[in-house]
Amino acid sequence: MTKDPVVFDNPRAMRAHAADLRRQGLRIGFVPTMGALHQGHLSLLDYTREHCDHLVVSIFVNPLQFDREDDLSGYPRTWEADLAACAGHGAETIYAPTPAVMYPEGYQTKVSVTELTRGLCGAGRPGHFDGVATVVLKLFNTVSPHLAVFGRKDYQQLRMIQRMVIDLDLPVEVKGRPIVREPDGLAMSSRNTHLSPQEREQALCLYRALTRAESLVRQGRRDVAALKQAAQDEVAAVAPARLEYLEVVDQHSLEPLAVLHRPAVMALAVWLGQTRLIDNMELNP
Ligand code: AMP
């Protein structure tokens, strides 16, 4: 039997609830999401549930992190299904504030993690990571989790949040979890629902690019230019796919590497029609 989670829609009520949980000595685990939950999200809920006493999931489509109005207005919203999924995966509390409550009249504060957000997705999405850092800090302040769990699907986001937590002395442990993929390799994403059947097929070029590079690394290749070329060829083989970026960077600093002499990650963003997809794979020489 699953129990319905309790839902809070404003920071004051959520904070009071979290304070109460802490007074009871419970370890609070937190998974921030924008809803439209899929198996990728649910893997985070399951992991967090196992490592805490009380699971809080936030569902908030954060306008501050969208750089395109059509992306925000078209973002999938599946509230009823999300609630059921959260209940089924052990969430006791849902925090679902409205934009008006998060950013009321007069709101003007932003958090910026500077170096880590310059390249990769940061280069093509101005303001995106400031929006993410800001909302995550606000959510941490309200939910006051002991543990917060993020997917490595958004690799740059994870590294940025880990940096922010260190830089701002936030009393929360941040964990990154593996990417959950469809059986054919496509990384699960709420935006996959925007793909036409044809684009869904074409979207496999991201995974093909990453696995091609990975297999070259396993064969001993270390020159990044060659790895990138092989991966780019996989994307180029799909005519409608438009590559926004493809980089091989250090796993922690996210600085571009010329030679694979330490743990790296290959990350890419590809457009299929109006849909932008990202994916990445760690390359460990
Ligand atoms: P979002 O709802 O897109 O903001 O994502 C919420 C959290 O789920 C983030 O930490 C994402 O990195 C994570 N996430 C999204 N897709 C996946 C996936 N396919 N595998 C693992 N985690 C994911």
Looking at the domain assignment, is residue 1 inside a domain?
no
149 and 97 inside one domain: yes
Atom of ligand 1 nearest to the CA of 152: 12
195 Cβ closer than 6 Å to some ligand 1 atom: no
Is residue 231 within 8 A of residue 213, CB to CB? The reply is yes
In a domain, 106, yes or no: yes
Domain match, 129 and 198 both = no
Q: Does the pLDDT value for residue 217 go beyond 80?
A: yes
**248 and 137 part of one domain:** no
Mean pLDDT (whole number) for 131-144: 98
Residue 285 in domain: no
Collapse the DSSP code of 283 into the 3-class scheme (helix H, G, I; strand E, B; otherwise coil) and give the result.
strand
Selection from 117, 276, 104 nearest residue 187 by Cα: 276
Contact between residue 283 and residue 261 where contact means Cβ atoms under 8 Å apart: no
Domain boundary pick from 156, 177, 198: 177
pLDDT grade, residue 168 (50/70/90)? very high
pTM of this structure? 0.98
* Whether the CB of 54 sits within 6 Å of ligand 1: no
Domain end call among 148, 177, 206? 177
Predicted confidence (pLDDT) at residue 43 exceeds the cutoff of 70: yes
Count of structural domains within the chain: 2
pLDDT at 1 (0 to 100): 54
Looking at the domain assignment, is residue 184 inside a domain? Answer: no
CB of residue 72 inside a 6 A radius of ligand 1: no
167 plus 203 within the same structural domain: no
- Clarify whether residues 30 and 63 are in a common domain: yes
In a domain? residue 182: no
**pLDDT averaged over the chain?**
97
CB 128 within 8 A of CB 58: no
The predicted pLDDT at position 3 comes to: 80
pLDDT beyond 80 at 2: no
Ligand 1 center from residue 106 Cα (angstroms): 30
Assess whether 41 carries a catalytic annotation: yes
Q: Is residue 185 part of a domain?
A: no
C-alpha 42 to ligand 1 mean position (Å): 9
Q: What range does the domain containing 133 cover? A: 6-177
Distance CA 130, CA 133 (A): 5
Q: Is the model's pLDDT at 242 over the cut of 90?
A: yes
Percent of the chain with pLDDT over 90: 98
- Same domain membership, residue 84 and residue 18: yes
| 241 φ/ψ angles, rounded to the nearest 5 degrees | -75, 130
Shortest-distance Cα residue to atom 5 of ligand 1: 33
Which one of 177, 198, 216 terminates a domain?
Answer: 177
Q: Would you list the DSSP string of 37-58?
A: --HHHHHHHHHHHHT-SEEEEE
pLDDT beyond 90 at 62: yes
Q: What is the CATH number of the domain that holds 34?
A: 3.40.50.620
* Nearest in space to 199 (alpha carbons), one of 242, 230, 244: 242
> Per-residue pLDDT tens for 83-125?
999 999 999 999 999 999 999 999 999 999 999 999 999 999 9
SS3 of 126-189: CCHHHHHHHHHHHHHHHHCCCEEEEEHHHHHHHHHHHHHHHHCCCCCEEEEECCCECCCCCECC
- What CA–CA distance (Å, rounded) separates 122 from 116? 9
Q: Which two tokens stand for residue 261?
A: 């002499």
Output the CA 116–ligand 1 centroid distance in Å. 19
CATH code, domain with 239: 3.30.1300.10
